[in-house]
Structure 1
Amino acid sequence: MASKVALKTKGKASGKKASPEEKSMAQNLKEWSTWAVKKAKVITHYGFIPLVIIIGMNSEPKPHLSQLLSPV
Protein backbone atom coordinates (compact mmCIF):
# COMPACT_ATOMS: atom_id res chain seq x y z
CA MET A 1 0.00 0.00 0.00
CA ALA A 2 1.09 3.54 -0.64
CA SER A 3 1.61 5.72 2.39
CA LYS A 4 -0.28 8.98 2.66
CA VAL A 5 1.45 12.23 3.46
CA ALA A 6 -0.39 14.57 5.79
CA LEU A 7 0.03 18.27 5.08
CA LYS A 8 0.43 20.51 8.07
CA THR A 9 -0.24 24.20 7.99
CA LYS A 10 2.16 26.60 9.64
CA GLY A 11 1.14 29.55 11.73
CA LYS A 12 -1.95 30.32 13.70
CA ALA A 13 -5.26 29.16 12.40
CA SER A 14 -7.64 32.04 12.86
CA GLY A 15 -11.17 32.48 11.65
CA LYS A 16 -10.46 35.86 10.04
CA LYS A 17 -8.66 36.02 6.75
CA ALA A 18 -6.98 39.11 5.37
CA SER A 19 -8.41 40.61 2.22
CA PRO A 20 -6.24 40.35 -0.89
CA GLU A 21 -5.45 44.09 -0.74
CA GLU A 22 -4.30 43.92 2.89
CA LYS A 23 -2.32 40.80 2.24
CA SER A 24 -0.53 42.28 -0.74
CA MET A 25 0.22 45.49 1.19
CA ALA A 26 1.63 43.48 4.08
CA GLN A 27 3.64 41.35 1.67
CA ASN A 28 4.95 44.45 -0.13
CA LEU A 29 5.96 46.02 3.19
CA LYS A 30 7.77 42.85 4.21
CA GLU A 31 9.59 42.59 0.88
CA TRP A 32 10.55 46.27 0.94
CA SER A 33 11.86 46.12 4.50
CA THR A 34 13.88 42.99 3.71
CA TRP A 35 15.34 44.68 0.63
CA ALA A 36 16.17 47.85 2.59
CA VAL A 37 17.89 45.93 5.40
CA LYS A 38 20.00 43.95 2.92
CA LYS A 39 21.08 47.16 1.15
CA ALA A 40 21.85 48.86 4.48
CA LYS A 41 24.04 45.93 5.53
CA VAL A 42 26.05 46.13 2.30
CA ILE A 43 26.44 49.92 2.56
CA THR A 44 27.54 49.64 6.19
CA HIS A 45 29.95 46.81 5.42
CA TYR A 46 31.76 48.60 2.59
CA GLY A 47 31.38 52.16 3.86
CA PHE A 48 32.52 52.00 7.48
CA ILE A 49 36.30 52.01 7.02
CA PRO A 50 36.30 54.75 4.34
CA LEU A 51 34.07 56.83 6.63
CA VAL A 52 36.53 56.43 9.51
CA ILE A 53 39.44 57.42 7.24
CA ILE A 54 37.59 60.50 5.97
CA ILE A 55 36.67 61.60 9.49
CA GLY A 56 40.25 60.99 10.64
CA MET A 57 41.72 63.05 7.81
CA ASN A 58 39.42 65.98 8.60
CA SER A 59 40.36 66.11 12.28
CA GLU A 60 42.98 68.27 13.98
CA PRO A 61 45.96 67.73 13.81
CA LYS A 62 45.76 66.59 10.21
CA PRO A 63 47.47 63.19 9.93
CA HIS A 64 48.85 61.71 6.73
CA LEU A 65 47.08 58.69 5.23
CA SER A 66 50.00 56.45 6.23
CA GLN A 67 49.61 57.55 9.88
CA LEU A 68 45.92 56.68 9.78
CA LEU A 69 46.50 53.24 8.31
CA SER A 70 49.48 52.23 10.46
CA PRO A 71 48.65 50.15 13.54
CA VAL A 72 51.00 52.12 15.81
Structure 2
Amino acid sequence: MASRGVSLKAKGKSSKGSKGLEDRSLSESVKEWSTWAMKKAKVITHYGFIPFVIIIGMNSEPKPQLSQLLSPV
Protein backbone atom coordinates (compact mmCIF):
# COMPACT_ATOMS: atom_id res chain seq x y z
CA MET A 1 0.00 0.00 0.00
CA ALA A 2 1.18 3.49 -0.74
CA SER A 3 1.62 5.66 2.31
CA ARG A 4 0.23 9.14 2.26
CA GLY A 5 2.56 11.99 3.10
CA VAL A 6 1.82 14.25 6.00
CA SER A 7 1.16 17.83 4.97
CA LEU A 8 3.03 20.43 7.00
CA LYS A 9 1.22 23.41 5.50
CA ALA A 10 -0.55 25.64 7.98
CA LYS A 11 -4.28 25.81 7.56
CA GLY A 12 -6.26 28.95 8.12
CA LYS A 13 -4.46 32.27 8.52
CA SER A 14 -1.48 33.13 6.39
CA SER A 15 1.89 33.64 8.06
CA LYS A 16 2.45 36.89 6.11
CA GLY A 17 0.67 38.97 8.71
CA SER A 18 -2.60 40.84 8.84
CA LYS A 19 -1.90 42.99 5.76
CA GLY A 20 -1.61 39.94 3.52
CA LEU A 21 -4.84 38.60 4.95
CA GLU A 22 -6.66 41.91 4.37
CA ASP A 23 -5.37 42.14 0.79
CA ARG A 24 -6.43 38.61 0.10
CA SER A 25 -9.92 39.09 1.50
CA LEU A 26 -10.30 42.40 -0.36
CA SER A 27 -9.23 40.82 -3.63
CA GLU A 28 -11.55 37.89 -3.03
CA SER A 29 -14.46 40.28 -2.32
CA VAL A 30 -13.75 42.23 -5.50
CA LYS A 31 -13.57 39.00 -7.49
CA GLU A 32 -16.85 37.73 -6.01
CA TRP A 33 -18.58 41.08 -6.58
CA SER A 34 -17.37 41.36 -10.17
CA THR A 35 -18.49 37.79 -10.89
CA TRP A 36 -21.93 38.56 -9.43
CA ALA A 37 -22.18 41.78 -11.44
CA MET A 38 -21.18 40.08 -14.69
CA LYS A 39 -23.79 37.35 -14.17
CA LYS A 40 -26.48 39.99 -13.60
CA ALA A 41 -25.32 41.98 -16.64
CA LYS A 42 -25.48 38.83 -18.78
CA VAL A 43 -29.09 38.17 -17.74
CA ILE A 44 -30.11 41.80 -18.27
CA THR A 45 -28.49 41.85 -21.71
CA HIS A 46 -30.04 38.52 -22.65
CA TYR A 47 -33.60 39.51 -21.81
CA GLY A 48 -33.35 43.20 -22.64
CA PHE A 49 -31.72 43.24 -26.08
CA ILE A 50 -34.75 42.44 -28.27
CA PRO A 51 -37.15 44.78 -26.42
CA PHE A 52 -34.46 47.50 -26.67
CA VAL A 53 -34.21 47.00 -30.45
CA ILE A 54 -38.01 47.12 -30.79
CA ILE A 55 -38.24 50.34 -28.76
CA ILE A 56 -35.49 51.97 -30.85
CA GLY A 57 -37.28 50.82 -34.03
CA MET A 58 -40.61 52.22 -32.87
CA ASN A 59 -39.05 55.64 -32.23
CA SER A 60 -37.32 55.93 -35.61
CA GLU A 61 -38.54 57.78 -38.68
CA PRO A 62 -40.71 56.71 -40.53
CA LYS A 63 -42.66 55.22 -37.64
CA PRO A 64 -43.34 51.56 -38.45
CA GLN A 65 -46.07 49.44 -36.95
CA LEU A 66 -45.11 46.63 -34.59
CA SER A 67 -46.02 43.99 -37.20
CA GLN A 68 -43.64 45.65 -39.69
CA LEU A 69 -40.83 45.56 -37.14
CA LEU A 70 -41.32 41.89 -36.33
CA SER A 71 -41.78 40.62 -39.90
CA PRO A 72 -38.62 39.41 -41.68
CA VAL A 73 -39.50 41.20 -44.95
What's the counterpart of residue 4 of structure 2?
Answer: 4
Question: How many residues are matched?
Answer: 64
SS at match of 1:63: coil
1 CA distance for matches of 2:40 and 2:6?
Answer: 39
2 CA distance for matches of 1:49 and 1:39?
Answer: 17
Gaps of 5+ in 2: 8-15
- Give the TM-score of the pair, scaled to structure 2: 0.76
Deviations 1:22-63 (A, max 9, x none): 111000000011001111111100000000000000000000
- Give the TM-score of the pair, scaled to structure 1: 0.77
Match runs of 1:39-54 below 5 Å:
39-54=40-55
2 CA distance for matches of 1:47 and 1:35?
Answer: 18
1 CA distance for matches of 2:47 and 2:30?
Answer: 26
Give 4+ residue runs of structure 1 displaced > 3 Å after superposition. Answer: none
Gaps of 5+ in 1: 8-15
2 CA distance for matches of 1:32 and 1:6?
Answer: 36
Report the identity percentage.
72
